[in-house]
Structure 1
């Protein structure tokens, strides 16, 4: 069925306004103020949008980067590897997460980055390109190389060891990352000033104590202690990510640690060296990108791609827990007239309130989604009877029949609601959605502002 009643021109105007709102969201929240390297590419791996940080890295403006590819910016070997990764993501839909790679430049020193790349999908779930975020880890890589060189130097002579330790102390004291040294029993032997601030204790208070003894949170210890022991046992480096709950309003803080064996001059492992960086801002940026890939930009509800995944998971659960799932398809009546009379901005506000009303009626565990335009879907699992289904559908109709009010403006609202149910673990998510859509169409055909259950 058509998404709106009326002419195709009106539909195009609404979709253009929606796309414009999405562009505004890019600019305000991700790209224009981002220091991170964030970029969006089309199916040919051409840049279509980039963050200010990405453009600065390439010594260009965001507009100058549009239409370019990695072949215009990097050494051909690196550009070819990046292109192959992105084309594989487009073919398979599988993301590449936190891949460390060496960026080779033409006329510039090489750099190291950790990159995450994802498929970019439209409202119908079709892959239309890729998007990614990279963080420069050159300093950490160079620091690891420098640490290795210093470790070799300590094996040469005690005099050189003293000199290097003096130089290293100056670096460590000024570092913003936490640098710590542990013995074989996981007790602190050293921590730099940044680490003292993170732990909230001085070195003399930490020395000869373990992280467990100073009260590190249990969920972090479950990752931290085994990683330290593996480095001691194998001598091989490890990387670990963990989060800690901050004090007051700080919330969760994410940390990335590189662990390396601390060796005596003869090569025996005598402890562990740990370099820890706060990566909370990167985690928040990654979550924002992941959320945009699965949620509607206007209402914050699940989009079609996430909805279909939720339906598939719910149907799969019927194999182990026989019960009945119901899909409600909600279409706002005469929404074109609202847009034509009050404008698209007011129309968007109406859609946001429709989303809020549906969400307030949904149970915990239900999925509320927006397919696009004025079409919404609610997935309810474990509905006991047809009477219960009708009760839920009638409540949706009643809630959406309340007028929209903003100041002196009052807009009459109503919605047509259809539903389809299944208890068959072999049923198809797309068929269930199609049946609910057909039931909604019957409700609209029979006069609107009502509920219709398929086959009742």
Structure 2
């Protein structure tokens, strides 16, 4: 019976399933032919190489690795092929396409055909990066730990439960003079001096048996050459990672030099200027030096064995003992106290205590500080007083002010903070010299002290400036009476350089708690009031007005809020059309600023512009209005609407020396826009502030192509000469005249006069405030055809104006 042939389709399906399975194996699987070309790679190889399988097949390792690694891989492949052997554990580090270095372990074996001939290499490579990194980290950690131990300045060692040293660092070998190999494996107690060896063995056993938690002591050790040295030993038990007791860890510091230094210091201490005592844990004196005997008046024999409490003049014996215990507990202390000498006299001393041996002895240094305290008192006085007059200075003044404020709060009385500056002192100083001038200040200080009561304060804060704190005042009448007394006292004639001279004072006062401010602010308010007194004619006083100051602060805060609104884009422009009532043509629009307030809604200019008219913020706002209006003009032109926009310019903005340059900068941002599309309006009163300057500025702007109008015409000081000098093309009749001209003959006459002046001087005239058809009819009858007002249109957002222009028609009564 013939053998069935396998189904080809079935074989290919098996191959596909095998390939798919290999793509999901957690390893890199590949096959190479005898020339090292890849004939199969699974998905993980493609990801490693960063290339599709079809871009890998047919290529050799040189395409994907550097020459050195490619050569090594090729040599291993050749060995597999030529010797027909399996190679395991081949490790390589590879730089992946991402730039990261990864580590792989590969198994390679020969691939045979049906005849047993080697036709290629089958390889399986596993990513062992994580394991290698752990191994590297462990090696680095062990090396670092060894380096740390070997660079330590103390001996570090481990002892097992039998007392044998199992580990030691290089410093221990150096310290004991034995090779490190000889130290390790030796008994720890063998290195202790024979005189202390038994004690050391007992301590070690107690520690291993958990009878004591740790050791911290000084011990005598033996070197290899037989010499001895003192070491400070600390030791404790240690456990392995599973918590099993493994032995002891010990640290030894060579303290021989320190011990010798202590012995030397003992002789130095005995010769020291400060007193010294060594006190045991029982609070008894074990040792003292000669300086302490001199300080206390006791003999050395009388001091030794006594308690520290015998010297204390302020503490009882129990308190002194408790203090000694605290020093032992904390290790050190420094304090000032009073000691009583043998003769009963008391001396102020500074005591510095430090622990010499833990739980055993403290050292106490005692210094007589009577002279130092006197010097400190002198320095404190200098730091807090004016050296010329002896009065408190600024530093002490503020301390007194805080106390005076607290006292006023408790008593419910007035505190007057008075700032005094001498009038006419500089001429006296210049005429008679600084020495005589100092004499004047001393005399003024004396007079001021004579004007105040015991609880009051007089301070000199510099030059000829003084501050008085007047406490316990019942009302403003008492304050004013006190201030008058001060002015009278200062104004009395003085003898200076053989001549009689007179100085006076300007005095300002702030009253707490009516002026409920902090001390710094109170003094500043008094200074401000003094300045007003000096401006008012000198030799007088002025009391700070808190209500006026509150209004100033409130105005400042509101100005800051408007500035914030400008930064936060809360301000918008609305546009009120300007029309020819006769022809019905829309000539332009006036840009009017509005505040879209987050809480209060849309606010008119009268709500906020008056607050900033006298500040530079009006300039910043004016620049914003010009820039915004120009941008709106460009937007209208793109929509086919060509108008002229009028922008109001404040006097402060107009009179700036850089106004024209700033205007040019705005115009340069819109190079396609005709310059005559912008018209600037200035109120008549602003133009009159500096007529020559404003006239020159208008001419300069007209040369740029920008038009000018005089707003609110008729409200200022209009005259023929003024109108002739001012080269503005347009006059705007103020709405206050237009609104009432139907019922007020004088207003009608003013309107008619302005129209006549405009006609004579060749100016265009436009009327504001046209609220009814009748207003427009009368204006037309008087010869004014251009107008704006609620009777024509209210101000509207720029986006709505084009639609309004398309639908607006003049009233039939206006058609002539």
TM-score, normalised by the number of residues in structure 2: 0.31
Structure 2 residue corresponding to 1:200, chosen from 297, 302, 309? 297
1:31-430 to 2 correspondence within 5 Å? 170-214=267-311, 216-218=312-314, 227-232=323-328, 234=329, 236-244=330-338, 255-263=349-357, 269-278=359-368, 295-296=385-386, 298-304=388-394, 306-308=396-398, 310-312=400-402, 314-315=404-405, 322-405=412-495, 408=498, 410-424=500-514, 426-430=516-520
RMSD over aligned Cα, in angstroms? 4.6
Contact 1:243 1:252 in 2 (8 A): no
Shift of 1:278: 4.3
User: Post-superposition shift, 1:238?
Assistant: 1.6
CA contact 1:244–1:254 (8 Å) conserved in 2: yes
After superposition, give the CA deviation of every residue in 1:119-146 in whole Å (9 maximum; x if it has no partner).
Answer: xxxxxxxxxxxxxxxxxxxxxxxxxxxx
Would the aligned equivalents of 1:220 and 1:244 in 2 still touch at CA under 8 Å?
no
Cα shift at 1:230:
0.9
Larger RCO (CA under 8 A, 6+ residues apart): 1
Unmatched 5+ stretches in structure 1: 1-147
Q: For the structure 1 residues 209 and 372, does the alpha-carbon distance in structure 2 shift closer, same or farther, using more than 3 Å as the test?
A: same
CA contact (8 A) 1:186 1:271 kept: no
Cα offset, 1:355, TM superposition: 2.3
Contact 1:181 1:189 in 2 (8 A): yes
Other-structure match for 1:64: none
> Displacement of 1:194 after TM fit?
0.8
- C-alpha separation in 1, matches of 2:459 and 2:315: 33
Q: Secondary structure at the match of 1:175?
A: coil
1:416–1:440 Cα contact (<8 Å) kept: yes
Q: 1:181 to 1:379 in 2, by over 3 A?
A: same
Cα pair 2:296 2:340 within 8 Å, conserved = no
CA distance 1:163–1:430, change in 2 (3 Å): closer
Q: CA shift at 1:180, angstroms?
A: 1.0
CA shift at 1:195, angstroms?
A: 0.9
Greater shift after overlay, 174-183 or 185-194? 185-194
Secondary structure in structure 2 of the residue aligned to 1:381: strand
Task: Specify the SS of the correspondent of 2:444.
Answer: helix
Deviation at 1:354, TM superposition (A): 1.9
Count residues in correspondence: 293
Whether the 8 Å contact between 1:361 and 1:396 is mirrored in structure 2 is yes
- For 1:416-439, what per-residue CA distance to the aligned partner results, in whole angstroms no more than 9, with x for missing partners? 333231125842434433443344
Counterparts of 1:193 and 1:271 in 2: how far apart (Å)?
A: 20
1:163, 1:252 → 2: CA distance?
Answer: 37
- Give yes or no for contact 2:416–2:470 (8 Å, CA) kept in 1: yes
Could you say which structure has the larger radius of gyration?
2
8 Å CA contact retained: 1:324, 1:382:
yes
5+ unaligned residues in a row in structure 2: which ranges?
A: 1-217, 220-228, 234-256, 547-816
CA pair 256-401 structure 1, distance change in 2 beyond 3 A: same
How far 1:252 sits from its partner (Å)? 10
1:176 partner SS? coil
| CA pair 225-399 structure 1, distance change in 2 beyond 3 A | farther
Deviation at 1:351, TM superposition (A): 1.4
Instruction: Tell me the distance in 2 between the aligned counterparts of 1:367 and 1:221.
Output: 44
C-alpha separation between the residues in 2 aligned to 1:368 and 1:224? 44
How far did residue 218 of structure 1 move? 1.5
Counterpart-to-counterpart distance in 2, 1:217 and 1:384: 47
Residue 408 of structure 1, CA deviation: 4.3
Aligned CA distance change for structure 1 residues 260 and 436 (closer, same or farther; 3 Å): closer
Output the CA distance in 1 between the equivalents of 2:499 and 2:307.
64
1:4-37 Cα shifts (integer Å, max 9, x gaps): xxxxxxxxxxxxxxxxxxxxxxxxxxxxxxxxxx
Write the distance in 2 (CA, Å) between the matches of 1:252 and 1:357: 41
Aligned-partner SS, 2:362? strand
Per-residue CA distance 1:356-409 (angstroms, 9 max, x = gap)? 332344434433222322111112333233343234323323332344346845
Question: C-alpha displacement at 1:221, in angstroms?
Answer: 9.3
| Residue pair 1:418, 1:451 contacting (<8 A) in 2 also | yes
| TM-score, normalisation: structure 1 | 0.51
